Each structure stands twice: as structure tokens, then as C-alpha cells.
Amino acid sequence: MTAEQTLQKMGLSDNPIAPEKTGKQFNGTIYYAEIRSKTGKRHGLEYGGNVLKGHKAIIMPNEYINIYGQEWNHIHAPVDFNKTFNIGDSAEYHSYNLKYVGKITAIKEKYIEIETMYKEKTRLSIYEFSWRNWDFDVVKTAEYNAEEMMHI
């Protein structure tokens, strides 16, 4: 049993206990105990979706998405995170040299729609949204982009 599960049983955790099945719906709220990318078929071979280890999500369609858990892609130890995004909030939707940020226009059970800087809309799967935004911070992103613009 993990520390988070122990805290949940004692009622000391902010994160509700998510059911084991992925995408389980309860009173309109959807719980993802495991965030997985799409499965696909290419050249006759079927590829299973990748799992974001430690990432979980709670979605209330047309209202908010809460991503929480642990990010395991670090050298020293996993990092805990808990972020809630509402419609109208900023979120990262793409990156190359710069991190591209837009306004969330829709939250659905399978995707998040974000308005790009060109007033177009792009859709991110729950997998890609969680991967890009688990550590999102508007101020740090603006500082990073300002510094990077000096070197481009």
C-alpha cells in the first residue's frame, strides 16, 4: 500500500480514491486511474497504448479536469503533482523551441480543446494533456519563452 492510499483511507488526502477501471463514470464525473495513449494498428501489427506511470485524472465534462499523481520521469525521485484546470484557464498545447500556451475552450471525457495563438482550436487527448501540463506554471513558462527568444 502506498502512502497516498494510506492517507486516503484515513481521510487526509485531497485526492479522492479512483476506481480501478479506467474511464469509470460516477454522477457525471469520470475517473481515470490509469492514463493511457490510444492503441493503434500499423502494417497489420497492433500497438498497445503507452501508460503515463503515476498519472491519474478526474474529469467533470464541460467544467474541469484535475490531473494528479506522481511524475516518474526524474533522476532522483518521483515528483508529486496536483493541478486543476477549468474552462478559460491557460494550458500548454505544443512545444518545440518555445512552449505554446492557449486558453482551454472545452473539456470533454476524451479530450481537451485549446484555442491556439492563431485563434484556431486544437484537441489534446487526456494522455497528451497530462503529459504536457503536469507541472504547468504560467509565470515559469513566460520566463522560459522570454529567455529562449533571445537565443533564437
Exposure of 118 by Cβ count < 10 A (0-12 exposed, 13-18 middle, 19+ buried)? exposed
Distance between CA 147 and CA 141 in Å, rounded?
10
Question: pTM value?
Answer: 0.78
Q: Band the pLDDT of 13: cuts 50, 70, 90.
A: low
φ and ψ at residue 66, rounded to 5 degrees: -115, 115
End-to-end CA distance of the chain: 48
Residue 26 pLDDT greater than 70, yes or no: no
In sequence order, the 6+-apart residues with CB closer than 8 A to the CB of 37 are 49, 50, 51, 125, 127, 128
Q: How large is the average pLDDT for residues 62-75?
A: 89
More confident residue, 142 or 8: 142
Strand, helix or coil for residue 62: coil
Alpha carbons 111 and 4: distance in angstroms, whole number:
27
Task: Using the predicted structure, report yes or no on whether residue 27 has a pLDDT greater than 80.
Answer: no
The pLDDT-based confidence of 92 (bands split at 50, 70, 90) is very high
Local confidence band at 35 (pLDDT 50, 70, 90 cut-offs): very high
CA–CA distance, 40 with 33 (Å, rounded to integer): 21
Beta strands 90-95; 64-71: pairing state: unpaired
Indicate the residue type of 95.
Answer: S
> What gap in Å lies between CA 58 and CA 75, rounded to an integer?
27
- pLDDT tier at 40, thresholds 50, 70, 90: confident
